[in-house]
Amino acid sequence: MAVTNESALDKEGQLAKMKRIALIVLGFAVLCFFVGHYYKIAWLKAFSEAAMVGGIADWFAVVALFRHPLGIPIPHTALIPQNKDAIGQNLGTFVSDEFLIKEKLEVKIDEFNFAVKATTWLSTEDNATKIAGLVVENLIPGILKTVDDEDVRQFIQTQFQAKLNEINFGEWVAMGLESLSNSKKQEELISNLLIIFSEELQDNKEVIREKVKGSTPWYTMGIADKKLADGIFNGLYEFIDQARESDSLIRKRIDLYVVNFIDELKNSAEMQQKVNSLVIEFTQKKEVQDYISSIWEKLKTAVTTDLEKGSDSKIKLSLATMVRNFGKNIQDDPLMITKINDFVKIDLLAVLIRNKKAIGDLIANSVKSWDKKEISNKLELEIGKDLQYIRINGTVVGGLVGLLIYAVEQFL
């Protein structure tokens, strides 16, 4: 926006400068008239009179394009604002009838080679950075401000729950365990679990003894507590030691249990439903639901924090790299270049030709919707500087014509 304002101010300055120059030239003609009249210089009077007429006439012509001269509603002045609708209609018809012609456009498209130029532009680092900048400075913040946080949280929860209901966790668990069993990792896993169980048993020995003591009758007076606890520990340690041996009966039973469990998971719809229900029940816990709801807040905060880094934003740098690589990859793919050009030439061109009347009407209606004063000011800003040369030329050429007429009169 700042660049646009600076450009408009620059154009206004240039227009004002050219108006002053045209006025100075006309003023010089007026000065020549008084000098010629005072000193009785006939040729200077002839030159200045014609120059003033030419300068004023061309001033009137230029001003009449954009507004009423001196604010006086003279007929056939303020041509642009008064004929705005007709200009828009003619412009729309001209574009649709003269530009949107299939044969002409096909030739131009072939000459232009849209795919190569577009990908070359995208693969340039400055351009890729500009695109990334537009996205991170306008698009993403705009989306974050527009989206309602509660709606997003509800959407995430709904989608998460829907996806969970679609997944057969029983099959997944069966596949995982079967893969583990086939890779011989099952024995290693069971051994590690038994080691962990043995260590936990040793670390909680006193706790278990207290539990045993609290469970024995009072009349034993604690005499059997130690023996009973030691018996439990020894029995468990012996069980674990046997289970750790791969050829022991206990280990074979564990392996058989795992095999049977996997087979039941694979083939029993009831068992699969039980596993699924356990997972769904777990996800319904408040802690899990709160975590799911916080995903959007964490994501939003992370994105906002990254965007605040400006040129160091990882999102911006990644987008710029992605755009640049996209352009380079297409450039290196002749088949894709051909497809893009064919798309522009055949499909996109067909859409343009098919809707040429609608495009013309769009241009006409757009011009009709513009404010008369606004369009007049904008057009004068764009072409008014050059039109001031008409005033300057009118003054100079008028003076020369007046001088020529004077010379012819003297000759005759």
| Residue 77 backbone zone (phi > 0: left; psi -120 to 50: alpha; other: beta) | beta
Find all residues with CB under 8 Å of 361, minimum gap 6, and list them.
92
User: What is the number of residues in the chain?
Assistant: 412
Element containing residue 183 per DSSP (H, E): none
- pLDDT value of residue 285: 80
Domain ranges of the chain: 2-82+371-411, 159-292
Distance CA 323, CA 129 (A): 8
Cα within 13 Å of Cα(392), Cβ side: 14
Task: State the Cα angle at 177 between 172 and 180, rounded to 5°.
Answer: 125
Residue corresponding to tokens 């002839």: 46
Give CA 325 to chain center in angstroms. 17
Residue 366, CA distances (Å) to 74, 262, 358 in order: 28, 70, 12
Task: State the Cα angle at 333 between 328 and 337, rounded to 5°.
Answer: 95
Cα within 13 Å of Cα(375), Cβ side: 18
pLDDT tens for each residue of the chain, 412 residues long:
444 565 778 888 899 999 999 999 999 999 999 999 899 999 999 999 999 999 999 999 999 988 889 888 888 888 888 888 888 888 888 888 877 787 777 787 777 788 888 888 988 989 999 998 888 888 888 888 888 888 887 888 788 878 877 777 777 777 777 776 666 666 666 777 777 777 777 777 676 666 666 655 554 545 556 666 667 767 777 777 777 776 777 777 777 777 787 777 777 788 878 888 888 888 778 887 778 778 888 888 888 888 888 888 898 899 999 999 998 998 888 898 888 888 887 887 888 888 888 888 888 888 888 888 888 888 888 888 889 999 999 999 999 999 999 999 888 7
Residue corresponding to tokens 């829907």: 162
Residue 367, CA distances (Å) to 80, 97, 273, 292 in order: 11, 18, 66, 51
DSSP 220: G
The answer to whether residues 233 and 201 touch, using CB atoms and an 8 Å cutoff, is yes
DSSP 69: G
pTM for this entry? 0.47
User: For residue 208, which of 179, 234, 233 has the smallest C-alpha distance?
Assistant: 233
Distance CA 101, CA 107 (A): 10
Task: State the Cα angle at 391 between 389 and 397, rounded to 5°.
Answer: 95
Distance CA 76, CA 228 (A): 119
- pLDDT value of residue 2: 43
Cα within 13 Å of Cα(410), Cβ side: 9
